[in-house]
Homo-oligomer: A and B are copies of this chain.
């Protein structure tokens, strides 16, 4: 099994009530790849600029992360800056400098073209589709993230890419916006008609909901005493989810439920530290222990 992710690698400047960093490795593909690497090998397709140094790359350079698809372009790396409100429920974007990301055209190294699992991070839907077109054999599972920007500006392209997607992973507001339906259950049914047979609705501190034609699964977020930086929670969730699924091989009700748990576990670890730091020193033992705590958190007998 081999998991490919396309998305952003960025530098972030982040301010939360717990601290401030001026330049830390970020971007959806970074969080995703680190989270997924505890489960399976991950192939990264992204672009960075000349300011992306060896120490930056060292954070991502792990035995299970393949960076041969990390393109180096002339110019600066994508930069994002944001500040969280005192209760961290809201954030203000202070700066978004696309830089080399503006001209990003994902190109897969030959060795990536047999990827069995693919995650299309939140980028232009036509670029997401270009990744699928470069994969030779039909992948076992395609997951997709998107956002209000693409839902509003490129609805036709997004619809076309969704036709080739099995798992849509977005938040509740995006689900409502995409479908024009407030009720999430009815919204999920509309998504089914667009292509994906599985809708994973990420709800941040309220957990996540999986809607499948045949079953429902809902998991709360693990109640944490220390939340230092919510950045990347959803991307880490996606990485844990897709990483576990790729490692499991088959996709069925049991593995999808477990993928939700591992996604939640990785999302929780991510927010306990600044930037990607919460994801860099984990072990499978720590991940499994947190998963068992999830089991105790949610289990009951009737």
Contacts and interface: CB of A to CB of B under 8 A. Distances in A.
Interface of A: 86-87, 182-186, 203, 206-207, 209, 211, 215-220, 223-225, 227, 254, 257-258, 260-261, 288, 291-292, 295-302
A267 to B, nearest CB: 15
Given A261-B302, A295-B302, A298-B299, 12 more contacts: A87-B182, A183-B224, A184-B223, A185-B225, A186-B225, A206-B206, A211-B223, A218-B220, A288-B302, A295-B300, A298-B298, A299-B299
Contacts of A302: 258, 261, 288, 291-292, 295
Contacts of A186: 225
A209 B223 contact: yes
Contacts of A217: 297-298, 300
Given A206-B207, A257-B300, A302-B292, A219 B220 contact: yes
A209 B203 CA distance: 15
A259 B256 CA distance: 28
Given A254-B301, A302-B292, A225 B183 contact: yes
A223 B185 contact: yes
Contact of A300 (B182, B207, B260): B260
Given A182-B87, A225-B186, A302-B261, A209 B216 contact: no
A239 B90 CA distance: 34
A228 to B, nearest CB: 11
A225 B217 CA distance: 15
Contacts of A219: 220, 298, 300
13 contacts: A87-B182, A183-B225, A183-B227, A207-B207, A209-B223, A217-B297, A219-B298, A220-B220, A257-B301, A258-B302, A261-B300, A261-B302, A295-B302
A179 to B, nearest CB: 13
